[in-house]
Chain A
Amino acid sequence: MKFTKTAALVGAATLMLAACSGGGEDSGGDGGGAATGTGPIEIWLSNNEAEIAWGEAVVEAWNAENPDQEVTAQEIPAGSSSEEAITAAITAGTAPCLVYNIATAAVSGWVQQGGLVDLSTFDDGASYIEERGGDSTAAYQSDGGYYQLPWKSNPVMVMYNKDLFEQAGLDPENPEMSTHADFLDGARQIVDSGVESAIWPSPTNEFYQPWFDFYPLYLAETGGTQLVEDGAATFDNEAGAAVADFWSTIYTEGLAPREAATDDAMVSGTTAMQLAGPWAIASYGDSVDVGFMPVPTTGGSEDVVTFADSKNVSLFTACENQATAWEFLKFSTSADSDGQLLEATGQMPMRTDLAGTYPDYFEANPMYAAFADQTERVADVPSIPNSVEAWQVFRESYSSAVIFGNTTIEEFLSGSAEEITGLVG
């Protein structure tokens, strides 16, 4: 009897709550007038110290000129990843106006959620994005609209420890490891010299890990073919097999460990190479004498394409003052602001003629010049439906075949390609 009574009370309260929550769908969202609304806005920045400093400086400059349209900046709330925090905010209707850390893979899901504003709907939206970023911006469209502004890239290159290279008998200024075969020879030489691992990409299961092992080499091998094109997976071919074989050899011969590092392997000297973007220069500059080279291909191309690892900016439908948000977005991605971003973070703004726009910076920072040059030849993850699920399928199949050798390369390529095509088609 007591149980029945308690259950009845809990049930009644539950139904009441359910009834209350049902009304939530009519509130918030892209309300009338939001697109032309002006006034205070909130923005989120990534948890990168240098980027926060840049963001605060830009906000301060804007606020000084626009006291009636004040911008407030904060870090993306804590979560296991930015994407999860943003997804939760979209669902709850608490997303800010702008987020300066958008990964392309997550965009299709957020468009489906109705969380993002198509920037092409602003009068000068498409033209601004295309003038700033050039032809490459077309790859960032979803459903024919710009739901993200391509903002900055971190082209992935091979970073190496010059001291360990020298110790292994490799020329640290010109290691000549541009082909798969030469790279493997160099890696064997490094391990034979006593270094625990030649290269140490993370062998873990997260959906984004292929972006830092398989994918840059696949883009290089194919001259920039994305994982999925025209609604079908592209990698079940010779190029995909060549890259998978390359990494399989790395693991089979013990040139890279099958477990994650428990510390920073570059700093501790347990690895001689990592795949990294320009952010690594500032991170390792004081502790390791680093050099950079393009990712290898079977034939050793001169001008290889690599993974852009871009982070972009999106405007959210929860924003009440979208006109202010758009103006601030243009202000914060202007040539001046981009120059400040480059100075503060070493990350490459995605605009045409980067090296020509900031010649003084690259003259003073020659190590970054290689990355500026590489930005001319980058590709990103494709804008596809079920993007995260597709990458997760890819990763699991890759891990099984390439990292752990429990299935064959052929099974991995054909099986995951078929499954991914089914997911995105």
Chain B
Amino acid sequence: MADVATPPARTPSGSRAGGPDLRRRLRVLLGRHPIGTIFALPYMVFVALIFAYPLVFACYIAFHDYFFTAPGVEVERPFVGLANFIDVLTDPQVLESFRNTAVFLVINVPLTAVAALVLASALNAGIRWAAAFRVAFYVPYLTASVSLVGVWMLLFSSGGLVNSVLGPLAPDPSWLVNSALAMPSIALYVTWKQLGFYILLYLAALQNIPSELHESAATDGASALQRFRHVTIPGVRNATTLVLILAIITGANLFTEPYLLTNGGGPDGASLTPVLLIYQKGIQQQNPDTAAAMGMILVIIVGLLSLTANRLTREK
């Protein structure tokens, strides 16, 4: 086959402009529509500055004997390999914080998914006062944790409203100072606070299920429960994956609630979380290297859990 000469590239005005190689390179770098890349550039810089750089830097810190210094102060920060990771993984307190988080996730994640789907289905079915319920579910999500925590403490303190109602059935020690009940109490609080957001996600997914599916199932004699099981649940599968992953990530990053509700992870460490420990070690105790190692381990665990949730809920 004879070679065919390729005509030189032309700019819109018809002049030659750097040749095909440069255009190809620019296209590889900026895509077919450079204007899109230009629009995306500020966000990419933001991501690089706020997420990627700290992540890379944290990785560096985790493998070094590192502490923060004033600018201009030169100190040795030798590479220590996995020493920080070994310190973290052999620290009983760290292991306890991961166990506490596991308790939290076991309660919070399924409860969030089930409650949000059931409530969203009820709202989607057009119950009376749907708008009022929607607002009621969403308001806690919008309200600052600090103020809600104050209300929760008044409710669940030993002399609080809940114990007054329960009377002799009230737990002793009370909810937030009871080693067995502190973490479940926090899990319930977070479920309640976040529920509005997840209900919204499910509502959007429910509205994408064609009504014909429900109608034909009903025509075939399926009960409401059967329609929920065989039409609704498969129809919101993607939303369920998202809800599970977001709930896992939020739960693994738990900080504000134990910090405020149980005063820094009490009682006796029963609600201590990895992020609380990272704060203590990295900020208060000025040991950013072990804090960074702990952060890396947390990221890996959250990644694995999210991947598992994704696999379990993926459409076969």
Contacts and interface: CB of A to CB of B under 8 A. Distances in A.
Interface string A19-41: 00100111111110000000000
A404 B72 contact: no
A84 B280 CA distance: 11
A87 B70 contact: no
Given A13-B44, A29-B72, A388-B284, A18 B264 contact: no
Interface in B269-289: 269, 280, 283-287
A202 B284 CA distance: 19
B124 interface: no
A30 B72 contact: yes
Contact of A113 (B67, B150, B266): B67
Given A10-B44, A14-B52, A404 B70 contact: no
Interface stretch (B10-18, B152-160, B208-216, B292-300): B152-160
A17 B49 contact: yes
A11 interface: yes
A154 B227 CA distance: 69
Contacts of B264: 204-206
A13 B73 CA distance: 27
Contacts of B71: 24-25, 27-29, 92-93, 318
Interface stretch (A56-64, A227-235, A258-266): A258-266
Contacts of A6: 44
Given A5-B31, A257-B158, A317 B283 contact: no
Contacts of B177: 203, 258-259, 404
A126 B266 CA distance: 43
Nearest to B288: A91
Interface in B35-89: 44-45, 47-49, 52-53, 56-57, 67-75
Contacts of B285: 386, 388-389, 392
A187 B270 CA distance: 29
A29 B73 contact: yes
A262 B153 contact: yes
Interface string B20-38: 0000000011010000000
Nearest to B259: A80
A112 B284 contact: no
Interface string A204-230: 111100000000000000000000000
Given A18-B56, A115-B70, A406 B287 contact: no
Interface in B170-194: 173-174, 176-177, 179
A11 B72 contact: no
| Chain B interface residue bracket vs A | 35 or more
A87 B263 contact: no
A113 B53 CA distance: 23
A357 to B, nearest CB: 36
A11 B52 contact: yes
B48 A10 contact: yes
Contacts of B158: 257, 259
Given A27-B71, A28-B71, A14 B53 contact: yes
A400 interface: yes
Contacts of A317: 70, 72-73
A13 B287 contact: no
A28 B72 contact: yes
Contacts of B265: 205
Interface in A175-210: 196, 202-207
Interface in A380-416: 386, 388-389, 392, 396, 399-400, 403-404, 406
Interface string A108-120: 0100111100000
Nearest to A108: B286
Given A93-B70, A317-B70, A388 B268 contact: no
Nearest to B73: A114
Contacts of A206: 263-264
A53 interface: no
B140 interface: no
A43 interface: no
Q: By CB atoms of chain A within 10 A, which of B44, B47, B73, B174 has the most? A: B73
A258 B267 contact: yes
A109 B68 CA distance: 10
Interface string B129-168: 0000000000000000000001001100111000000000
B70 A91 contact: yes
A87 B53 CA distance: 21
A112 B70 contact: no
Contact of A18 (B53, B73, B269): B53
A83 interface: yes
B68 A87 contact: yes
A392 B283 CA distance: 13
B183 to A, nearest CB: 15
A9 interface: yes
A90 interface: yes
A202 B264 CA distance: 12
Contacts of B29: 5
A392 B72 contact: no
Nearest to B284: A388
Interface in A87-112: 87, 90-93, 95, 109, 112
Contacts of A95: 70
Given A112-B67, A259-B174, A392-B285, A404 B47 contact: no
B68 A5 contact: no
Contacts of B286: 87, 109, 112-113, 388
A260 B264 CA distance: 11
A52 to B, nearest CB: 24
7 residue pairs, one from A and one from B, having the closest CB atoms: A29-B72, A114-B73, A204-B263, A13-B48, A205-B264, A28-B71, A93-B71
Given A25-B73, A112-B67, A203-B266, 8 more contacts: A10-B48, A14-B48, A21-B57, A207-B284, A318-B71, A386-B285, A389-B287, A404-B177
13 contacts: A13-B48, A18-B56, A29-B72, A90-B68, A93-B72, A113-B69, A113-B286, A258-B177, A259-B176, A317-B72, A389-B285, A392-B285, A404-B177
Interface of A: 2, 5-6, 9-11, 13-14, 17-18, 21, 24-31, 83-84, 87, 90-93, 95, 109, 112-115, 196, 202-207, 257-260, 262, 317-318, 386, 388-389, 392, 396, 399-400, 403-404, 406
